[in-house]
Structure 1
Amino acid sequence: MSHSHHRSLLTKREREIFQLLVKDFSTKEIATQLHISEKTVRNHISNTIQKLGVSGRAQAMIELLRLGELSLG
């Protein structure tokens, strides 16, 4: 099975949020940075957690890094 890079698991917004989470931004900081509400940030995070079938944001980050969806750059 080949890894297709154009078909991402995450939406653009979900990726933006997790890129900031990986850099240790808080929900509040992410909301400010992306000009959205904290509630929206949390919704995106929980959607991603459900999509991945993991039990929390830390595990989601690990999984996304493993899948190559996120980078620590």
Structure 2
Amino acid sequence: MKENDFTHKPLLTKREREVFELLVQDKTTKDIAKDLFISEKTVRNHISNAMQKLGVKGRSQAVVELLRMGELEL
């Protein structure tokens, strides 16, 4: 068995994490899109994908859950 077989795999992708890190800085979808050089639709897709993974129905619920799980820091 490899040494890293039991390492913690992050719940979010790198880009989903970047989006949520900007969300907790009170950035809008438009701001996030501009900062990351992606479309607003792509930002919304990243947020939606993360919410699905977490089983929550809103951005604020997602942030609370990610903070609780230690996946996101303020």
Return the TM-score normalized by structure 2. Answer: 0.89
Moved over 4 A (4+): none
Unmatched runs of 5 consecutive residues or more in structure 1: none
The answer to whether the aligner puts 1:12 opposite 2:14 as a matched pair is yes
Q: Tell which structure's C-alpha radius of gyration is larger.
A: 2
Shift of 1:6: 3.9
Task: State the superposition RMSD in angstroms.
Answer: 1.2
The 1:5/1:67 distance shift into structure 2, 3 A limit, reads: farther
Which runs of 5 or more residues in structure 2 are unaligned? Answer: 1-5
* AA aligned opposite 2:33: A
Structure 2 equivalent of residue 53 of structure 1: 55
- Structure 1, residues 38-59: CA drift from partner, whole Å, max 9, x if none? 0000000000001100010100
AA in 1 matched with 2:21: Q
When the two structures are aligned, how many residues end up with a matched partner?
69
The match for 1:39 is: 41
Question: 1 or 2, which has the higher helix percentage?
Answer: 2
Distance apart, 1:5 and its partner CA: 6.3
